[in-house]
A and B are shown apart, each in its own frame.
Chain A
Amino acid sequence: MSTNHTSGAGSATHAKKAEIFCQDEARVDWHSKALWMLREKRDRAASSIPEWEQLRELGSQLKLHTLTHLDQYLEEFEKNCHANGIQVHWAKDGAEHNQIVHKILAEKQVKKLVKSKSMLTEECHLNPYLESHGIEVIDTDLGERIIQLAKQPPSHIVVPAIHMKKEEVGDLFHEKLGTDAGASDPLYLTRAARAHLREQFLSADAAMTGVNMAIADKGAVVVCTNEGNADMGANLPKLQLHSMGIDKIVPNLDSAAVILRTLARNATGQPVTTYSAFYRGPQTDGEMHIIIVDNGRTDMLQDKILAESLKCIRCGGCLNTCPVYRRSGGYSYNYTIPGPIGIAVGAQADDTNSIPWACTLCGSCSYVCPTKVPLDKIIHHHRRLKAKAGKLPYGKRSYMPLVGNFMASETMLNCSMSVARTALRILPGAVLKPFSGAWGKYRELPIAPKSSFETWFNKNRGQ
């Protein structure tokens, strides 16, 4: 594999990690195409709903409403959960979340936990924490199970093993699950995983899932999957746990309906996920726990622009459309969540200060977002925040102010552009190329126009 599997606190910049991914050009093309297929499916699903734009606007407004009344809704949610026999816990950060989960599991002497996909538990690094305390954690979403067996983090929030080829999955399953050597048929491999994971569901002591929505006035959580793994998990053992960020709250069932209509359509182009399950209490003789997690979200709410990133419903639509994500891979972002939304919610944690620049500001992500998160605006804002904090990446720190002064001076700009036009005409490319830096690596130098635009304008359109 040519991909770089390191993540978390990154030691290399986005550009450096992207370069590693880009070494295998065929894989980059394949990756980009797979994701663009999802984008096309999304477009077809969106355009089949005449009220699509109305749903996006409603999604945006209801999430903004909830985020600006979050304290009331969280308290209402907790009160209603209690009335439904659900136990509620609060965690200010990932460490506290993990401790709470471990305490619940330890009290019940849980040896094996089946987990359904949850980006929040990835964000909190729950698996290694529980494993270090002797609890076996089985990720049950097929994509998650694949990368868990391969000891990798997810590279996409909806299709976590999108970077892997079926032959690689075949080799992995042959080694770990005993499938036939050389077998790479997705149907055969999926059936093998089904048999393997059924044994896990049937022998687990507890189940844990993420939460797509938490409904305040009902005290219920909604969990969406296509595979049914969350429900096979949560409905077999008597102990079920659900982790949710504070931003997952919606006021009522009417608002949940709006989001259910856009979530799957925008993610994979399906009209709705196969299973949209509503849990409003534990099963008979069972226990249900919900852990409400902050982990930096309240800080983001204190910045007017960053706050809007919490409208996100984690459909992954922005990743699929992003020209940078598609060509740099999920592991280049120095954060659990890659792509535009990953930059929006993860840029502050990026110690290389490079991921706000993993973006062309093309705005495609904002255009497809089902809750109108202004992703390009947020990413641009992160650049300003990095500059203000004196954390511009190496290079940008020194030359950007110079570029600013240069662009602001008409005389200097005109003079050097004239020099550049002449140079492009008379000097050989090999001499000029080094001056174009990384830009020129995969591009030809432009053909110089005869004169500047200003000269042309004055001659043809001027007074």
Chain B
Amino acid sequence: MSSKQSILHALKRVAVEPQAMPEINVSPRLDDVIGQFETNLGAVAGTLHREAGLSGLQAKVDELIAQGQQVISTVEGITGNRTLPETAHELKDIDYAVIPGDLAVAENGAIWVNNKNLGHRVTPFICENLFLVVKADTVVANMHQAVKQIGLESGEFGVFIAGPSKTADIEQALVVGAHGACSLNVYLT
């Protein structure tokens, strides 16, 4: 018998009575979802820019480029100074990546990013700093609402990003910037 068959066979003898799947029906908190999102994004060490919009972001990007930073953008309307390289490894010296988020979650500050918008899957992780662009009308209250809307087609990759990379593995001291981006700024449009 193959290992698969022997595992499945053993699973015919589970001692617990079969249980029904519960109905998942959790009331969302719909008061001031943008405000909730801003608070929770702050709690995970990210920053929300509510008023600047795309023009404010482009101004920021231009300023960074003038300082000699390497900026790549996959957001329509935002121009960086780097184009998408052939291989993911060539992204290793990117200082800033500008990426569109599909939706944001108020209860925890997370933003859903899909690989269709990344160029390479590793882009939001390998960059030193990350800018995410989110449409204000895509902010949902909680994860239950978020998973109803996330796009994840066959073969794809998607990720909820809640703040910059962080760790507290040395004596529980919180350090922002472990392996992924060292900062996260979110622009609302």
Show the binding face of A for B, using Cβ within 8 Å.
34, 37-38, 49-51, 54-55, 57-58, 61-62, 64-65, 67-71, 74-75, 83-85, 90-92, 96, 140-143, 146, 159-162, 164-166, 169, 186-187, 189-191, 193-194, 197-198, 201-202, 218-220, 226-229, 231-232, 235-236, 246, 251, 253-258, 260-261, 268, 270-283, 292, 294, 298-299, 301-304, 307-308
Contact = CB atoms under 8 A, between A and B. Distances in A.
A228 B180 contact: yes
3 closest A-B pairs by beta carbon, nearest first, are A228-B180, A281-B155, A227-B178
A38 B168 CA distance: 11
B163 A307 contact: no
B15 A279 contact: no
Given A194-B179, A280-B152, 13 more contacts: A62-B22, A90-B7, A166-B173, A227-B166, A246-B11, A254-B148, A260-B160, A271-B43, A272-B162, A275-B159, A294-B10, A302-B14, A304-B15
Nearest to A227: B178
B160 A272 contact: yes
Contacts of A280: 152-158
Interface of B: 2-4, 6-8, 10-22, 24, 26-27, 29, 40, 43-44, 88-89, 92, 105, 107-110, 120-122, 125-126, 142-144, 146-148, 150, 152-173, 175, 177-181
Contacts of A271: 40, 43-44, 107-110, 162
Q: B interface, by DSSP: helix, strand, loop or mixed?
A: loop
A164 B168 CA distance: 12
Contacts of A235: 88, 120-122, 125, 157
Contact of B170 (A67, A71, A186, A198): A186
A68 B16 contact: yes
27 contacts: A51-B26, A65-B22, A69-B18, A71-B8, A71-B11, A74-B11, A142-B170, A160-B169, A166-B171, A166-B173, A186-B171, A187-B173, A189-B170, A190-B169, A228-B178, A231-B122, A231-B159, A232-B179, A251-B21, A254-B147, A257-B24, A261-B108, A274-B162, A292-B7, A302-B10, A302-B14, A308-B16
Contacts of B173: 166, 186-187
A254 B7 contact: no
Contacts of A220: 152
